[in-house]
């Protein structure tokens, strides 16, 4: 009997179906992803509204997993509260049943080829005519996705129907509902898509390979299996992300248990509306919707309780990123200003660490001690996590500055505060420059052009030299020495900038680099030099006296005038 099953057609149908789902998901997110994110972020005030938003967005996106991952991102950013996040996830459960209805109605009621092939033909042909950045291109991808979706479903349907003609359902062993529940859960966890699992179940049910009860158990299992995507997305996340993932798992598990416990009653309700024997596919779609609505009704009164319980289970463990200001009362202006200066020095070091890692330079070449972030938290951060922590530290610095500024300060104290907070902004602008050219450094290092490889190494050497100078200056005891050395470092920085431009022009003349490479090199050098200047300026504001700062600024102005005069003389 197995020879009647066209395995390759079944697998091809499943492959086309999964590809179509990816195409649909991606095109819908490109067309309206921002609108959906805004809807989730802004239209979730209250439990009922958050559930409604979850239903609507999931019905349109056709992926509860995508919506759940959006929710994870929003709670991590503090945009969604825990209770509203649970509401959206509950709503997404109902919204996900829309796909079963769509497949039941279109996939098994009418001739699929009559509209699947035109969608593929029109969508594919028009895609060629529009640029990839055009919204019409995404519309064509959407049409193509729908076409492939139903074509894949048709392949699966035909392969199973041929097999079902000689299939005796009575010969299928009764393993029990729990086994089929586990099969549905595993199948969805592996494919990470309840949409695909339910399509397979509906196809098997339509072909007569399984009974309605088995189909119901598989659908319940598929519902539980979707939790794997959200659980994976929460790994290594903040406590609130873990709470949302756990709430998702609890909701799905208890909904599944309730559906199994009330399976007989739910089937009777379904038979009241639809004849299971005459239209089993539509009946299963209704069953899918009913037990998800049952889960929402059961959970709705307990959202607050669940949220509070999860907070106790996964309490917030706020990482202390500051070293000095958290121990200093802001009411004492002198002490607060001194602590703020030290904290901004700490900020500078963490930023330097981030920049060293962008260029893959061993931090031991610059620092002779471990920095507070990783030492206190006992972990090595990824580049992205380190950058986020630096931003949080800067936020805490600015909040402390605002509290100190709110006190009654003398004019000189207020000016000093303003100067040192300006240093912190220069440091942050410096790190943003390096973040923006991070990919360029990676390109230079991996390029086939030897000249670009050499320039990457020179950038690394320039950075280490500058950091050695800045660290040495901070250890000098006399501010007059610090003033002179900062000026000398700045002049050296400018000389290295001019030398780089001269070398690049020579490389152009020698045809060692192409046009795009020239543009990239000049851009990287400009932002590199500007970032290093900003770090020099930050130390100027932190280390020097007001008079020395004024002299330093006048020296910079004089240098600019001399440079302009030199440029004019060169032109003539």
Tell me what pLDDT residue 228 has: 73
Rg (CA), the chain: 32
Q: What is the pLDDT of residue 158?
A: 66
Res 73: pLDDT: 58
Domain ranges of the chain: 2-313, 318-436, 441-572
pLDDT of residue 233: 59
The CA-atom distances, in angstroms, between 4 and each of 8, 9, 15, 170 are 12, 12, 20, 18
Closest CA to 285 of 102, 550, 81: 102
Backbone angles phi, psi at 540, to 5 degrees: -55, -45
Helix (H, G, I), strand (E, B) or coil at 55: helix
Q: What is the pTM (predicted TM-score) of this model?
A: 0.53
CB 139 within 8 A of CB 24: no
How many Å apart are CA 396 and CA 390, to the nearest integer? 10
d(CA 336, CA 554): 30
Residues in the chain: 572
CA distance 42 to 224: 28
Q: What is the pLDDT of residue 167?
A: 45
Q: Is there a contact between 340 and 404 (Cβ–Cβ < 8 Å)?
A: yes
436/207 Cα distance (integer angstroms): 56
Q: Which of 115, 144, 90 is nearest to 297 (CA)?
A: 90
- Alpha-carbon gap, residue 537 to 222, rounded angstroms: 59
**CA angle at residue 274 from 273 to 275, to 5 degrees?**
135
Dihedral, CA atoms, 172, 177, 178, 180, nearest 10 degrees?
50
- Tell me the DSSP string of 243-257: HHHHHHHHHHHHHHH
Q: CA-CA distance, 103 to 100, in Å (whole number)?
A: 5
CA-to-CA distance for 393 and 344, rounded, in angstroms?
9
Per-residue pLDDT of the chain (572 residues; tens, 9 = 90+): 444 556 777 778 777 766 776 676 666 556 555 555 555 556 656 667 778 877 877 776 656 666 666 666 566 555 667 777 778 878 877 877 776 777 666 655 555 566 677 778 888 888 777 766 667 777 788 788 777 777 776 776 666 555 544 444 445 556 677 777 788 788 777 665 666 677 778 777 777 777 788 888 888 888 888 777 667 656 655 676 677 778 878 888 888 888 888 888 888 888 888 877 777 788 888 888 888 888 888 888 888 888 788 777 776 555 568 888 887 887 777 888 888 999 999 999 999 999 999 999 998 999 888 888 777 767 778 888 889 889 989 999 998 899 888 887 788 888 888 999 999 999 999 999 999 999 999 889 888 889 999 999 999 999 999 999 999 999 998 889 999 999 999 989 999 999 999 999 998 888 888 878 888 999 999 999 999 999 999 999 999 988 988 888 888 776 655 555 455 445 54
Confidence (pLDDT) at 166: 47
The pLDDT of residue 2 is 45
pLDDT at residue number 278:
76
User: According to the model, what pLDDT value does residue 430 have?
Assistant: 95
Angle at 87 between CA 82 and CA 90, to 5 degrees: 125
pLDDT of the residue at 31? 57
């Amino acid at each position: 009997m197995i020879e009647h099953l066209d395995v390759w057609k079944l697998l091809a149908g499943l492959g086309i179906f999964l590809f179509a789902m990816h195409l649909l998901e991606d095109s819908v997110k490109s067309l309206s992803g921002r609108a959906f994110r805004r809807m989730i972020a802004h239209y979730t005030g209250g439990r009922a509204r958050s559930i409604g938003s979850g239903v609507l967005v999931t019905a349109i996106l056709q992926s509860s997993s995508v919506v759940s991952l959006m929710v994870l991102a929003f709670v991590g950013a503090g945009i969604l509260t825990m209770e509203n996040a649970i509401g959206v996830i509950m709503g997404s459960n109902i919204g996900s049943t829309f796909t079963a209805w769509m497949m039941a109605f279109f996939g098994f009621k009418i001739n699929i080829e009559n509209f699947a092939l035109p969608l593929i033909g029109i969508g594919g042909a028009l895609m060629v005519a529009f640029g990839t950045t055009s919204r019409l291109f995404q519309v064509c991808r959407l049409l193509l996705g729908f076409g492939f979706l139903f074509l894949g479903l048709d392949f699966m349907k035909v392969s199973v129907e041929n097999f079902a003609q000689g299939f005796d359902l009575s010969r299928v062993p009764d393993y029990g509902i729990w086994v089929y529940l586990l099969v549905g859960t595993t199948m969805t966890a592996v494919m990470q898509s309840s949409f695909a699992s339910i399509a397979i179940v509906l196809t098997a049910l339509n072909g007569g390979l399984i009974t309605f009860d088995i189909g119901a158990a598989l659908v319940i299992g598929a519902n539980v299996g979707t939790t794997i995507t959200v659980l994976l997305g929460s790994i290594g996340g903040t406590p609130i992300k873990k709470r949302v993932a756990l709430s998702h798992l609890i909701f799905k598990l208890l909904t599944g248990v309730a559906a199994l416990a009330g399976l007989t009653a739910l089937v009777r309700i379904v038979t009241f509306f639809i004849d299971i024997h005459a239209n089993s596919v539509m009946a299963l779609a209704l069953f899918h919707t009913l037990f998800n609505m049952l889960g929402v009704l059961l959970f709705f009164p307990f959202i607050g309780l669940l949220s509070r319980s999860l907070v106790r289970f996964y309490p917030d463990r706020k990482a202390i990123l500051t070293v000095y200001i958290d121990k200093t009362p802001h009411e004492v202006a002198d002490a607060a200003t001194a602590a703020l200066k030290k904290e901004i020095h700490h900020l500078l070091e963490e930023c330097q660490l981030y920049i060293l890692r962008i260029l893959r330079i061993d931090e031991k070449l610059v620092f002779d001690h471990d920095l507070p972030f990783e030492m206190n938290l006992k972990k090595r951060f990824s580049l992205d996590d380190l950058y986020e922590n630096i931003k949080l530290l800067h936020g805490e610095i600015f909040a402390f500055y605002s509290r100190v500024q709110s006190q009654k300060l003398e004019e000189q104290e207020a000016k000093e505060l303003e100067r040192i907070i300006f240093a912190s902004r220069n440091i942050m602008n410096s790190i943003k420059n390096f973040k923006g050219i991070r990919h360029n450094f990676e390109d230079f290092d991996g390029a086939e052009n030897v000249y670009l490889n050499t320039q990457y190494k020179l950038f690394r050497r320039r950075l280490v030299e500058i950091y050695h100078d800045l660290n040495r200056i901070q250890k000098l005891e006399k501010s007059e020495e610090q003033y002179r050395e900062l000026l000398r470092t700045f002049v050296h920085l400018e000389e290295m900038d001019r030398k780089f431009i001269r070398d690049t022009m020579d490389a152009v003349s020698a045809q060692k680099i192409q046009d795009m490479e020239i543009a990239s090199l000049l851009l990287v050098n400009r932002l590199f030099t500007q970032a290093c200047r900003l770090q020099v300026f930050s130390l100027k504001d932190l280390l020097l006296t007001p008079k020395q700062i004024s002299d330093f600024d006048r020296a910079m102005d004089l240098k600019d005038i001399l440079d302009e005069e030199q440029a004019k003389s060169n032109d003539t």
